[in-house]
């Protein structure tokens, strides 16, 4: 092979791989915009599905467990109630006088609540 044959083969190979039409700038720009639109739509869709998935998972995990129905317990036992008359505890409290004091008369004249100190 001579150098001229090699050059002719390389030129023919270059012709085979070259685009057939002239490059149209508007077609290239439109193709780029379509690609960007597709990518933007895919990103928005993926974001929406992610938000829905996170919300669904959080609601599923935070759902309270079912509460079993209430079962009535045993009936309370009835015991006799102790009345004041039957009680061994005195009805009126007993006040022990403090040495050096005398009880002051209450509103009805009886010593009840206040104490006065006698000097």
Residue 66: the pLDDT is 78
Residue 101: the pLDDT is 65
Residue 37: the pLDDT is 97
| SS3 letters across 36-81 | HHHHHHHHHHHHHHHHHHHHHHHHHHHCCCCCCCCCCCCCCCCCCC
Cβ-contact 40, 48 below 8 angstroms: no
Q: What is the pTM of this model?
A: 0.37
Cβ-contact 112, 94 below 8 angstroms: no
Cβ-contact 103, 111 below 8 angstroms: yes
Helix (H) or strand (E) holding 103: strand 101-105
Phi-psi region of 13 (alpha: psi -120 to 50; beta: other; left: phi over 0): alpha
| pLDDT tens digits along 3-53 | 888 888 888 887 777 666 667 888 889 999 999 999 999 999 999 999 999
Q: Based on DSSP, count helices (H) and strands (E) in the chain, helices before strands.
A: 2, 2
Cβ-contact 103, 115 below 8 angstroms: yes
**Res. 107: pLDDT tops 70:** no
CA distance 71 to 75: 12
| pLDDT tens digits along 81-101 | 655 565 565 556 556 666 666
């Amino acid at each position: 092979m001579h150098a001229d044959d090699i050059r002719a083969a390389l030129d023919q190979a270059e012709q085979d791989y070259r685009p057939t039409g002239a490059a149209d700038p508007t077609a290239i720009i439109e193709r780029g915009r379509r690609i960007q639109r597709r990518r933007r739509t895919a990103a928005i869709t993926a974001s929406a599905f992610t938000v829905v998935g996170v919300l669904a998972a959080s609601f599923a995990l935070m759902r309270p467990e079912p509460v079993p129905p209430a079962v009535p317990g045993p009936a309370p036992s009835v015991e006799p109630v102790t009345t004041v008359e039957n009680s061994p505890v005195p009805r009126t409290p007993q006040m022990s006088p403090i040495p050096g004091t005398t009880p002051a008369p209450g509103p009805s004249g009886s010593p009840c609540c206040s104490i006065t100190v006698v000097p």
